[in-house]
Amino acid sequence: MNLNEYSEALAAAVERAGRSTVSVDARGRIPASGVVWSSAGEILTADHVVQRDEDLNVILPDGSRQAARLLGRDPHSDLALLKVEASDLVMPEFASGARVGHVALALGRPDDLQASVSHVVSIGGPVRGGFRYLEAYIQTDVTMFPGFSGGPLVDAAGRVIGVNSSALARGASLAVPVAAADKIVAALRQHGRVQRGYLGVSTQPVSLAEGVAQLAGQASGLMVISVEADGPAAKAGLLQGDVLIGLGDQPIHDIDTLHAALGPDTVGQDLTARVVRGGQIQSISMRVGPRP
């Protein structure tokens, strides 16, 4: 493929994905962008650009302005789901399998359609801790122009592979991959937020004594430093000083493995915790609560 053919292919990809890229007017300055996510009128955008819950508007690619309502938001992944009453939305084609080195295009529609060419720099995740909970991410070297947040990251064929955000990491351009975003959309559609599991404990990683490590089949766990009164762990009888080494069928080595074991599908479920207490391994049943 010569340079002109390459250029024409990228322009065609932008045109294709642009039919499903909208403008989101939900803040007091330059509008942001969004992606048509379902034929039912759902629009996925970045949470940080939805600065108000009312007087939300979406400008479609044909220039028509539609009132929108907020179905839900997840600040931890910086995604928000809007709904418009429109029946002629163009659905994008979604794709997975982005690889490091692939050409990727970031699209935005702060007014007219805009695009920026980049490459996939890395694919990673999960990110759990602080204020961010991401099952996966795509990092690119894209220039995130004002108003691009909430717009699609697309491959060279114009297929949506993620949703861009300028707020997920300082100094890096990240996108939430389609598969991870789709799970968040399902939760927002049903609950208006993403429920994440919660035990109500503060912990720190510790090494296990050699004999206990052999019995447990692992070298480390999480020592319980404090137990929140009336929290799930307190109700189950977990004590300060216990060392958590397993939850459900997941070994617990550190805080990342604990967060991984407390996914949205665990809320309200009874899980068996394996703990070291007094040098002995015990099993304690506890019902996972929703994170406040």
CA atoms within 13 A on the CB side of 172: 14
Question: Can you list the alpha helix ranges (DSSP code H) found in 134-173?
Answer: none
How far CA 221 is from CA of 168, 192, 211, in Å, comes to 29, 34, 14
The residues with which 114 forms a beta bridge, in sequence order, are 108
The SS3 of residue 59 is strand
Rounded to an integer, what distance in angstroms lies between the CA atom of residue 21 and that of residue 147?
A: 12
Amino acid in position 47: D
Query: For residue 222, which amino acid is it?
Result: L
Amino acid (1-letter code) at residue 70 = L
Q: How far apart are CA 68 and CA 237, in angstroms?
A: 46
Query: Six-digit token pair at 81?
Result: 């789901």
Q: 67 to each of 80, 84, 86, 193, how far by Cα in Å? A: 16, 6, 10, 21
224 membership: H or E segment, kind and range: strand 220-227
Calculated CA dihedral for residues 206, 210, 216, 221, nearest 10 degrees: 0
* Structure token pair of residue 210: 């050699």
- CA 113/CA 107 separation, integer angstroms: 7
Whether the bond into 264 is cis, omega within 30 of 0: no
Residues 6+ apart with CB under 8 A from 91: 20, 36, 38, 39
Among all residues, which ones are annotated catalytic? Answer: 48, 78, 149
What is the residue whose two structure tokens read 């099952």? 135
